[in-house]
Amino acid sequence: MRSFFFDHNGFATVVRALSVATLLLFPGCDTTVDVLQPSDQYRYSLYGVLDVAADTQVIRVDPLSSPNAPGASSSVDAAVVLQNLESGEEISLQDSLTILDADSTTAHNFWTTHPIQPSTKYRIAVKKENTVLTTGTTTTPAQAPSLNVGQPILLPCTYPTPTIPDRQSENTFVVFARGAPQIAAAIIQYPILQPSGEDTLRTWVSSNHYDKVSDEGDRFKISVFYRDELISLHPDPPSGSPVCPGESYFFRPAARMIVSAGGPQWPEWQSASIDSLARPDLYSNVQGGHGFVGGIYTDTLRVPFAERLP
Amino acid sequence: MSRFLFFIAGILLCSLIAAGPAPTFAQDPAAVRGFVRSADGGQSLQGANVILRDTTGNVQSAVATNADGLYQISEIPPGRYRLSISFVGYTPHRDTLQLAPGEQRTVSISLSASAQQLDDVTIEGRRPVKESEAGLRQIRSADIESIPSAGPGSDLSTYLRGLPGVTTTGDRGGRLYVRGGTPSQNKVLVEGMPLHKPFHIIGLYSAFPGDLVSTADFYGGGFGAEYMGRLSSVLDVQLRPGNVNEFKGSVGAGPFLALARFEGPISRGGSSFLVNVRHSLIEHSGPTLLNQQTPYKFYDLTAKYHSQGESSQCSLVGMRTYDRGRLDPNRTASFRWNNTAFGGECLLFGDTSAQVLDASFGTSHFGNAVRSVDGTTRDASAWRFYTNLDLTQPLPNGNSLQWGFHLRADQYRLSLDEPFLGITSEDYFRITTSPYIEASLTWNDRVTLTPSLGTQFQFSRGLPMLEPRLRLSYRPRGSERMKLTAAGGLYRQLVTGVSDERDAGSTFQALLPSPFTDHPPQAAHALLGWNQQIQSSLRVSVEGWYKKLWDLAVPRWTPIVRFNTTLSRADGQAFGADLSIQYEPDPLRLDLTYGYGQTTYQASEDDLGGWTGDPLIEYSPPYDLRHKIGVSASLDLSWVTASARWQYNSGLPFTQVYGYDSMLEVRGLREHPFGSVGTPRALFDRPYQARLPAYHRLDASLKRTFTLSPLLGMTVEMGAINAYDRRNVFYVDIFTQDRVDQLPVIPYLSLQINFE
């Protein structure tokens, strides 16, 4: 066996060369893998709005370097403050570790009941040892949108027939909003009576209609096609054809249309995809981190239920 | 490009003209063809030498049999000849033929094993440099047997994973990346029957046990137009037939799997059957052996009916594979996939025609699914019906012309249930034809040129596009010691595989028609190789390769933690070189291989949805393996066979993140901090910028066969996988940061009983 291996000097040279090459290629025996390489540039993400009309302001604060994802670590280990950049006033926000779902996913939601002024520049700042690491800056709108609705929610709904295949306009009401530079939200809430065992729960069920907001120059138009969502909200759906709930299924005579005006820097993101929203470089007004802190001014409009006349 | 097309078309046209009128009506020249098989069991003998001499002893023609054991000598002037057929380890066949004008003589013979030369059979893997072709690795059972594998028996997968230019992302998951290509760009054929993912969840195994493989042609690129529809590689496997003379069987077990095989004649000397089944045991033996969970289950079932005659050879093959397991044993995400395929293939020729017809048909279904930790399920399947007709026409001077027509109908389905995003379901049906023509032309026994031209036409698309390809080889001075090879061409693929590329650990794949209907993914290959027989036992081969890739469907960048089917268009390039040194002084066999490769993708930032600020983004995909070294040795002594293999891979790319958060959709106030979890994100600057630690591993085994009686034998094999217990990382989930390592040291002892 010695002969066939060692008698070929050329081959032995090749083997030696390959051995050297192998040793050179070895980066050592370290097998550790560091997936998380925290950035000094991006420290926290901030999500939430400051609403002039709200009693409580809530901002989600995520430490980006938290190794436990999803969810939050037990402590943010930093202070979160609300700064009025015009008056210089600074308010500390209180942390609350919120359990959000059945998997016990947690989040740090910082909140304050401090009143928010219209047309004012605010900053949410995350500080650690008096060093500001992350900030989100926004300006609140000067006024709430002025709302009016053209017609009530007519019940019962009407459905397509062979002769009238599209009856969408008969089951749509329109809200007009004036006096707002941007519309930040358009949400309708239905007062649904929900059976729960032997009891009946009174629940405000929301439906988001931000996608239906259109800019008409001096006003915004919000078209709410309510038939299909009322069908899906029917607390006691009959078998067979889908049916809207009747007036008896509501615990209030009117639904609520909540419309928020967005501040002057409110993004034009109405048609953006979820992937675009998730990009760290788009739609963010947070320095030293990611996310979006907005300023809004909300108003609510009653949209009554009414009997549809034949 | 157009000049090249005209060149190829011109050569093919000349070839057609050279073929002349249909040979059925030929008057003067005669032809001899037939099958060469083993008298022992009826197995086709590839590479048998067939020499026709005139009465004075001058060689009229010399050819070698192909993978089907078929040879053909045409354009023979009528007269008297001596025919000799030989194959190493077998008693040669000699005969005298009197050929009449226009006669198409069939001489199919069975060679008997020669007792004096039986030892030579063990070195059948040593093949002449003449057989070398660009991009092609011809794998035989002896090659597979020389690699240590946790038996009983060997497996083609173990061999393939050691080849330079082949990248795997770990020893689980069953995915192979070949020279810059992705798994969905590989074509795997078994007797003409496509299999989408025949590799088992434990990477040591595939649907191809080593001793079932008759031949396996593995093209890392540069393949001819006979193989259409894939960009990267081709694995064309021929299974050996069952024994046509006697009944045989095997049963065996080891810590990884158990096997049973039974074969025998249906009509003695004429037809046979073979049934092979393997089932994993590692799920049960792993916790005891490794003191850790090994939640992997797989099985494969292969059945083959084979019929052979003087002028025909037909087979029916059915295959079923199943895999299920959790790549990360500590998490509940469970993968499963299966292949079910059935097909038939016939190779036949008539008494009056010189043409050889290869006809095949069948169906193949692939399904795979993953159930994630959050309970959501992704499901995807592909179902194909196909029929192929291939004709080979001999031309003067040993040349040949081959053309064919392939027709397939594909159905692709997927259903993706994604957290936060709901269910996406898609269903596609496509019918595709792919005719081709290929000529093989040799000058002075030195230059062989194989131009080919094919096209794929899908009825739902526009005009078909031509795919010209060219293969050539050159033996300076006709020497058997040195050969230069080259290949190149244009390749298109009408189907796209979508994988979860967030990490290397996911094995789920959805197949979809290419979303870019105007420009399907395409590639241009260029290969240049040099093969040198330095001594009778020392051979060196080097091959450089380059692939330019266009219109690849790659996932758009997103920090959202989900399976991403949003595709964008990217171009890419891959290049590298493979070095192989084979040193085979009997009884030692030593293989040294080194492979270098580099793969990069380029796409515009807008298309990719990137956020680097560069208008054109260039990045490495997760399988961009740079360095690969392999050393394998096999020592076949009279009483024991020892084999070992050491492999080294430089680290694969992975995405390093700088943070995690949950995005709240403030737009429209859809999500409120107190009411929503948000959409989890893993935030990164660029994907795949970091590299995992290097991988290296030693496998070793000792095998001995005992003869218990004339009809009963026993093979005992012992060894170890990952003998020095290297902690090789398999993958790291970039979201949870869970690290999963590859298999630790696994000692094994396997036993196989062979009976007849």
Task: Convert the pLDDT of each residue in A72-99 to its tens digit.
Answer: 566 788 999 999 999 999 999 999 887 7
Q: Check: CB of residue B61 under 8 Å from CB of residue B54.
A: no
> Using CA atoms, how far apart are residues B670 and B420, in angstroms rounded to an integer?
13
Under an 8 A CB cutoff, do A36 and B611 touch?
A: no
Establish if A220 belongs to a structural domain. Answer: yes
Q: Give contacts of B559 with chain A, Cβ < 8 Å.
A: 278-280
- Judged against a pLDDT cut of 70, whether residue B224 lies above it is answered with yes
> Using CA atoms, how far apart are residues B341 and B325, in angstroms rounded to an integer?
22
Under an 8 A CB cutoff, do A21 and B594 touch?
A: yes
Phi, psi of B89 (to 5 degrees): 90, 0
pLDDT grade for B27, boundaries at 50, 70 and 90: low
Establish if A153 belongs to a structural domain. Answer: yes
B656 and chain A in contact, CB less than 8 A: yes
Establish if A7 belongs to a structural domain. Answer: no
Establish if A136 belongs to a structural domain. Answer: no
- Judged against a pLDDT cut of 70, whether residue B121 lies above it is answered with no
The predicted structure's pLDDT at residue A103: 64
Mean pLDDT of B191-213: 92
Q: Check: CB of residue B179 under 8 Å from CB of residue B547.
A: yes
Residue found by looking up tokens 């001489």 in the block:
B107
Neighbour-count burial for B395-421, b at 16+ CB within 10 Å, e otherwise? beebbbbbbbebebebebbbbbbbbbe
Task: Give the DSSP H or E segment for A277.
Answer: helix A274-278
Mean pLDDT of B449-478: 88
Q: Check: CB of residue B549 under 8 Å from CB of residue B506.
A: no
Under an 8 A CB cutoff, do B657 and A36 touch?
A: yes
Q: Each residue of B409-428: pLDDT tens digit?
A: 999 998 876 544 455 788 99
Instruction: Provide, rounded to the nearest whole percent, the portion of chain B with pLDDT above 90.
Output: 50
Under an 8 A CB cutoff, do B673 and A272 touch?
A: no
Residue B375 zone, left/alpha/beta (φ > 0; ψ -120 to 50; rest): left
Measured between CA atoms, the residue of chain A closest to residue B738 is A35
B661 and chain A in contact, CB less than 8 A: yes
Which residue type sits at B351? D
Establish if A278 belongs to a structural domain. Answer: no
Q: Give contacts of A11 with chain B, Cβ < 8 Å.
A: 538, 583
> Using CA atoms, how far apart are residues B151 and B104, in angstroms rounded to an integer?
47
Question: Which of B560, B732, B735 is the closest to A69 by Cβ?
Answer: B735
The CA-CA-CA angle for residues B628, B634, B636, to 5°, reads 170
pLDDT grade for B75, boundaries at 50, 70 and 90: confident
Question: Which of A34, A290, A294 is the closest to B661 by Cβ?
Answer: A290
Contacts 24+ apart (CB under 8 A), A77-81: A77/A128, A78/A44, A78/A126, A78/A127, A78/A128, A78/A133, A79/A126, A79/A127, A79/A128, A80/A110, A80/A124, A80/A125, A80/A126, A80/A127, A81/A124, A81/A125, A81/A127
Q: Give contacts of B693 with chain A, Cβ < 8 Å.
A: 27, 30-33
Establish if A97 belongs to a structural domain. Answer: no
Mean pLDDT of B114-123: 47
Helix-then-strand count for chain B, H and E: 5, 46
Residue found by looking up tokens 């196989």 in the block:
B752
Q: Give contacts of B665 with chain A, Cβ < 8 Å.
A: 274, 277
Tokens coding B224: 């001819």
3-state DSSP call for residue A200?
strand
Largest Cα–Cα distance of chain B, in whole Å?
Answer: 99
Mean pLDDT of B509-519: 77
Instruction: Provide, rounded to the nearest whole percent, the portion of chain B with pLDDT above 70.
Output: 90
Tokens coding B298: 């797989």
Q: Check: CB of residue B643 under 8 Å from CB of residue B590.
A: no
Under an 8 A CB cutoff, do B658 and A42 touch?
A: yes
> Using CA atoms, how far apart are residues A75 and B614, in angstroms rounded to an integer?
37
Range of lowest pLDDT (A58-67, B325-334, B641-650): B325-334
The predicted structure's pLDDT at residue B318: 97
- Judged against a pLDDT cut of 60, whether residue B615 lies above it is answered with yes
- Judged against a pLDDT cut of 70, whether residue A191 lies above it is answered with yes
Range of the domain at A156: 146-260+297-307
Question: Which of B656, B659, B669 is the closest to A187 by Cβ?
Answer: B669
Under an 8 A CB cutoff, do B661 and A291 touch?
A: yes
Under an 8 A CB cutoff, do A282 and B611 touch?
A: yes
> Using CA atoms, how far apart are residues A50 and A45, in angstroms rounded to an integer?
16
Under an 8 A CB cutoff, do A278 and B560 touch?
A: yes
Range of lowest pLDDT (A150-159, B23-32, B176-185): B23-32
The CA-CA-CA angle for residues B353, B357, B363, to 5°, reads 160
pLDDT grade for A177, boundaries at 50, 70 and 90: very high
Mean pLDDT of B536-542: 92
SS3 track for B15-55: HHHHHCCCHHHCCCCEEEEEEEEECCCCCECCCCEEEEEEC
From the list B118, B111, B54, B60, the residue with the least C-alpha distance to B87 is B111
B732 and chain A in contact, CB less than 8 A: yes
The larger pLDDT score, comparing residue B556 to residue B629, is at: B629
The larger pLDDT score, comparing residue B169 to residue B211, is at: B211
Which residue type sits at A221? K
Q: How many Å separate Cα A111 from the centre of its chain?
A: 17
Establish if A62 belongs to a structural domain. Answer: no
Range of lowest pLDDT (B109-118, B368-377, B554-563, B696-705): B109-118
Cβ-count burial of B103 within 10 angstroms (0-12 exposed, 13-18 middle, 19+ buried)? middle
The predicted structure's pLDDT at residue B23: 42
B581 and chain A in contact, CB less than 8 A: yes
Mean pLDDT of B22-38: 72
Q: Each residue of B551-561: pLDDT tens digit?
A: 988 888 888 87
Mean pLDDT of B125-134: 61
Q: Give contacts of B656 with chain A, Cβ < 8 Å.
A: 34-37
Q: Each residue of A113-154: pLDDT tens digit?
A: 999 999 999 999 999 988 999 999 999 999 999 999 988 999
The predicted structure's pLDDT at residue A67: 64
From the list A266, A176, A264, A159, the residue with the least C-alpha distance to A212 is A176
Q: Check: CB of residue A122 under 8 Å from CB of residue A116.
A: yes
Tell me the pairing of strands B109-111 and B30-38: parallel
pLDDT grade for B374, boundaries at 50, 70 and 90: low
Establish if A161 belongs to a structural domain. Answer: yes
Tokens coding A98: 């919120």
Which residue type sits at A108? H
Q: Each residue of B706-729: pLDDT tens digit?
A: 999 989 999 999 999 999 999 998
Q: Each residue of B47-72: pLDDT tens digit?
A: 888 999 988 888 888 888 888 888 88
Phi, psi of B12 (to 5 degrees): -65, -35
**What domains sit in chain B, N to C, each tagged with a CATH number?**
23-123 (2.60.40.10), 129-755 (2.40.170.20)
User: Which alpha helices (H) appear in B151-281, and where do they start and end?
Assistant: 156-161
Mean pLDDT of B508-518: 77
Q: Check: CB of residue A241 under 8 Å from CB of residue A234.
A: no
> Using CA atoms, how far apart are residues A291 and A136, in angstroms rounded to an integer?
8
The predicted structure's pLDDT at residue A18: 54
Q: How many domains does chain A have?
A: 1
ipTM summary value: 0.88
Q: Give contacts of A260 with chain B, Cβ < 8 Å.
A: 669
pLDDT grade for A14, boundaries at 50, 70 and 90: low
The larger pLDDT score, comparing residue B756 to residue B213, is at: B213
Under an 8 A CB cutoff, do B651 and A27 touch?
A: yes
B320 and chain A in contact, CB less than 8 A: no
